[in-house]
Chain A
Amino acid sequence: METGTFPTQGGRKPLGIIQAGLAKRKAAETRFKTYGIVAIAAGLVFLAILFISIVGNAYTAFQQTQVKLDLYLDPDVIDPEGTRDLDVLSGANYAAIVRSGLQDQFPDVESRRDRRALNALVGRGATYDLRATVMAVPDLVGETLTVWVPADDDVDMLLKGNIDREAAEEGRRLSDQQLAWIDQLESRGRLAKRFNADFFTKGDSREPESAGIRGAVVGSFYTMLVTLLLSFPLGVAAAVYLEEFAPQNRFTDIIEVNINNLAAVPSIVFGLLGLAVFINFFGLPRSVPLVGGLVLTLMTLPTIIIASRATLKAVPPSIREAALGVGASQLQTVVLHVLPLAMPGMLTGAIIGMARALGETAPLLMIGMVAFIVDIPQGILDPATALPVQIFLWADSPERAFVERTSAATLVLLFFLIVMNALAVVLRKRFERRW
């Protein structure tokens, strides 16, 4: 075909027009790329700020100021009759032993007032720890135990630089006298920041120095266990039925629309539903992981169904035809060929759904998992709280020492979320099959 047979702008040659417009196109492309880079950079900056602020606040919580005391386990105080009966051991006045251990360090403190001020330097948790130690090994009675006991949170905050020594005495949590004692203990090597094992092994407490996340982690674990066991099989079964077996009609369309809508329902609504149905109607106990798991199952189910249906759709029809072509029944085709190919995607969907459920707070508030619970839950019917709820509770506490613990708990929650998401990626990469 001869050139010039089509009309062009101003009768110019097509190549000339294209050349003239090139600079503009390139500029548009560069501009678009810049927007993209700016958007990603902004995202990364905010992520960095988030992590820096959380880690910056949190890392001090992994250390706790402790006091080294020589505790004489006085038989007259603990077990005057020498029976070593556990009831007697349990009811003994261990606080007196801890107090006398501390007063041994400062024998010249005489007055009641001063003694009380001195005793305030050691956290109350030391008493319970000592009782547990003696209950475990009753033969220790009569011996002298050298142990590190957690200092009071005010002492801890002082050593971490959160209490201003220069401030006026009245406006300070610690008196001049107490500061002097602390300095003396430190110079004798009896006061130091040590690894805060209690944070990982203890339940919640009103005293920051003995508050830990173990109860919340275990509560979250049981809640997630219930959620996983219920939502994964239900979600996969629903997805397989809808995708592979259900007839395409108005009824299934309505179901599909409703599932998509459920995925967008605010989570607190699921909490209200759980409160009304599971607790009020079925009479299940409050604050237990079972109910938490049921509520989160309702919340996770749509996510898992949608993700599973998407992966089922992605399995090539040629695989189904191949199986049907040799005479496999519909169920055999699905179970033997389609499901194995879709499983990695389904697992990924389930893990992402679980990660969302793990970070969910609002529905758990509605069903009472926000209660102050010290004991570590032993099962799905024990009152429990969950990690995000624990963060919420601590964020609400007035003590300065809870600030760092709030951040530390957030860090632990983020750690679990990152692990779960990484697991999803690994599973997808590992079991992804080509066909």
Chain B
Amino acid sequence: MYESEAKLAEPNATMRSGVGNVRATVPREHRQTVGNTRVDNPRIRCNKLNVYYGDTHAIHDINLDVGNNEILALIGPSGCGKTTFLRCMNRMNDTIPGCRVEGEIIVDKQNVNSPEVDVVPLRARMGMVFQKPNPFPKSIYENVAFGPRIHGLTANKAELDEVVETSLVKAGLWDEVKERLDQPGTGLSGGQQQRLCIARAIAVQPEVILMDEPCSALDPIATAVIENLMVELRQNFTICIVTHSMQQAARVSNRTAFFHLGDLIEVGETNELFIRPGHQLTEDYITGRFG
């Protein structure tokens, strides 16, 4: 998969190289990360992160910080490793046989990418929303109550009810479902299901919400609802979102990281990166020349 894309990308390199030189960007052969990967007081700091699927080296030496209360967008062509990177942060890659993660992920001065760290509290701190809405085949209420219940966060039914309501309100779903909390979550529309999944994630009160292409299965209107929601949620959460839509990254994120074939090519303030990309590959990608 990587090789075929590399071949596709290569001819472009020679064809377009003249254009890049005018803007004085870093040439494409150069794969060191452009831009400042570090922020002050990061929520998550990744040092020299490498991921292998069996013999395939999926992402190489990634250094990247996720700041507090920011939305970090991860963009890049398919197979570039952005989802893999996202899944490192709550150790979801542990569930994939043959997957090996090397390097450090520092959260609160602790390297969470070590076997001694229990994934249960880590995943409670790092909520996750998946590409395809995946509500449990249970009632709406049960979907949201699941997290608080297994972690024993609430003392009684009244508190749990409150958590469910608050989560659904924050996820912008309350008004649509308050009359039918006992109906199955799988009966909702795609956009509603995805917001239900967001409500389920925030019911555990995570510090970070990891979103893996949350709008890729949704229509533009449902997407707009979720984008507005992300901006709202930024007040209380740090959000890391993988997206295929550059417009979406431009609309919602504070910082953007561009991945290509397992390398982190460029990181920067979203406005900066989209207006003045510092690397030839970034420019080619955001201007739609490939990807």
A interface with B by C-beta (< 8 Å): 248, 316, 318-329, 332, 336-337, 341, 433-435
Contacts of A325 in B (CB 8 A): 90, 92, 123, 127-128, 130, 201
Q: Are B95 and A322 in contact (CB under 8 A)?
A: no
How far does the alpha carbon of A157 sit from the alpha carbon of B130 in the complex, in Å? 74
In the bound complex, how far is the Cα of B184 from the Cα of A434, in angstroms? 11
Which residues in B have their C-beta under 8 angstroms from that of A316?
134
Tell me how far the C-beta of A246 lies from the nearest C-beta in chain B, rounded to whole angstroms.
11
Q: Are A341 and B137 in touch, CB under 8 angstroms?
A: yes
In the complex, what distance in Å separates the CA atom of A366 from the CA atom of B200? Answer: 57
Leading 6 A-B pairs by shortest Cβ distance: A327-B124, A325-B128, A327-B123, A318-B134, A326-B147, A322-B134
User: Using a CB–CB distance below 8 Å, which chain B residues touch chain A?
Assistant: 90, 92, 95, 97, 119-124, 127-128, 130, 132, 134-137, 146-147, 150-151, 186, 197, 200-201, 203-204
B residues less than 8 Å from A434 (CB atoms): 137, 186
Partner of B120, one of A318, A321, A327, A433: A327
Q: With contacts A319-B136, A322-B197, A435-B134 known, what are 10 further pairs, Cβ within 8 A?
A: A320-B95, A321-B134, A322-B135, A326-B124, A326-B200, A327-B123, A328-B146, A332-B150, A434-B186, A435-B137
- Separation of A271 and B201 alpha carbons in the complex (Å): 54
Give the interface SS of chain B, mostly helix, strand, loop or mixed.
helix
Task: Give A248 to B96 CA distance when docked, in angstroms.
Answer: 11
Residue numbers in A under 8 Å from B120 (CB-CB): 327-329
Complex contacts, B200 vs chain A, CB 8 Å: 322, 326
A sample of 7 inter-chain contacts (CB < 8 A) reads A325-B130, A326-B146, A327-B122, A327-B124, A328-B147, A328-B150, A435-B137
With the chains together, A324 CA to B92 CA distance in Å? Answer: 8
Greatest chain B CB density within 10 A among A248, A321, A327, A435 is at A327
Taking a contact as CB atoms under 8 Å apart, the answer to whether B95 and A327 are in contact is no
Q: How far is B203's CA from A326's CA once the two chains are assembled, in angstroms?
A: 9
Nearest residue (CB) in A for B202 is: A326
Using Cβ atoms and an 8 Å threshold, which residues of chain A touch B130? Answer: 318, 321-322, 325
Which residues of chain A are near B97, meaning CB under 8 Å? 248
B123–A326 touching, CB < 8 Å:
yes
* Cβ–Cβ < 8 Å partners of B134 in chain A: 316, 318-319, 321-322, 435
Closest Cβ of chain B to A314, distance in Å, is: 14
Contact of B150 among A318, A319, A321, A327 (CB under 8 A): A327
CB-based nearest B residue for A321: B130
B7 to chain A, nearest CB (A): 24
Give the Cβ gap from B56 to chain A, nearest Cβ, in Å.
18
CA A435 to CA B121, docked complex, whole Å:
27
A317's nearest neighbour on chain B, judged by CB, is B95
Residue contact A433 to B201, C-beta cutoff 8 Å: no
